[in-house]
Amino acid sequence: MTRTLTLATWNINSVRLRLPLVEHLIAGWAPDVICLQETKCPDANFPSSSLTKLGYEHIAMNGQKGYHGVAILSRIPFSETGARNFCGKQDSRHIGVKLDLAGTSLAETGLFVHNLYVPAGGDEPDPVANEKFAHKLAFLAELEAWLGLGSGADAAVIVGDLNIAPLPDDVWSHKKLLDVVSHTPIETETFEKIRRDGAWLDVMRDFVPVPEKLYTWWSYRAADWSAADKGRRLDHVWASPGLKPKFTSMEILREARGWDRPSDHVPVIVKLEV
């Protein structure tokens, strides 16, 4: 027996402030699993009761006051949960679960879902002058040690705000953004090396190959973000290569950038038959 599993990833930029937007996503698209980043909320204050009432009885979170924070909301039970720390910091940038998919083709293995929020890296792409950029590069080095060594052999999906637009067609202007954090060569080359060495499938680009532009983020600074359309693809979905035939669709909800009091990121939704 097969079933369709719908998974969404979204940097929500404060889950309590934008809970109505999460509720709107649920009402319109009803994902089975929602991975949120930048929840900006300690676990004790997470709006679990509101989300449980909407059918998300299984919630894994790793939050802190004011900054960062990740969470996974699910209609499907977890058989495992866990969180990793990076760079010796407890700054709430990862949460992982193993979905219990009894009665499906993944009943024996389950499906691991890892939700990540990679550091943005500040404004100056110089690790000596900019501690935030140094932190980002150190984070990527640890990510490479974890995900870049054939980890993709498992039944796993990696999602989240990875804060890197790796390909020339993932930004509005490759030439103009080469010196801008998120698209510098040291970031993009490391990012793609991690993905290739780990044999991870870039699910979004599997559905929308280059040279078509793909964006998931538009700056708040633009007076008219849609008309300017100076976007970047900072949000990603990677998957184990064996899962490739199971994915049936991918959608970027560009319209969400125009919702009331929006995040600067929009949801990415994938579907797979399991």
Average pLDDT, the chain: 96
Tokens 């993905």 sit on residue: 195
Over residues 75-87, the mean pLDDT reads 95
Residue 5 has pLDDT above 90, yes or no: yes
What would the CATH number be for the domain defined by 4-273?
3.60.10.10
Distance CA(122)–CA(138), nearest Å, equals 14
Residue 150 has pLDDT above 90, yes or no: no
Backbone angles phi, psi at 141, to 5 degrees: -65, -40
pLDDT of residue 148: 81
Q: What is the pLDDT of residues 88-119, one digit of tens each?
A: 998 999 999 999 999 998 988 899 999 999 99
The candidate with the shortest Cα–Cα distance to 193, out of 232, 109, 129, 137, is 137
Residue 153 has pLDDT above 90, yes or no: no
pLDDT of residue 151: 54
pLDDT of residue 2: 82
Q: What is the pLDDT of residues 180-228, one digit of tens each?
A: 999 999 999 999 999 999 999 999 999 999 999 999 999 999 989 999 9
pLDDT of residue 232: 98
pLDDT of residue 231: 98
Over residues 263-270, the mean pLDDT reads 98
The pairing of strands 231-232 and 217-218 is: antiparallel
Long-range CB contacts for residues 253-261, cutoff 8 Å, separation at least 24: 253/25, 253/29, 254/215, 256/10, 256/21, 256/25, 257/218, 257/225, 257/226, 258/226, 259/21, 259/24, 260/20, 260/21, 261/17, 261/18, 261/21
Over residues 63-72, the mean pLDDT reads 95
The pairing of strands 156-161 and 58-62 is: unpaired
Greatest alpha-carbon pair distance for the chain in Å reads 56
pLDDT of residue 41: 95
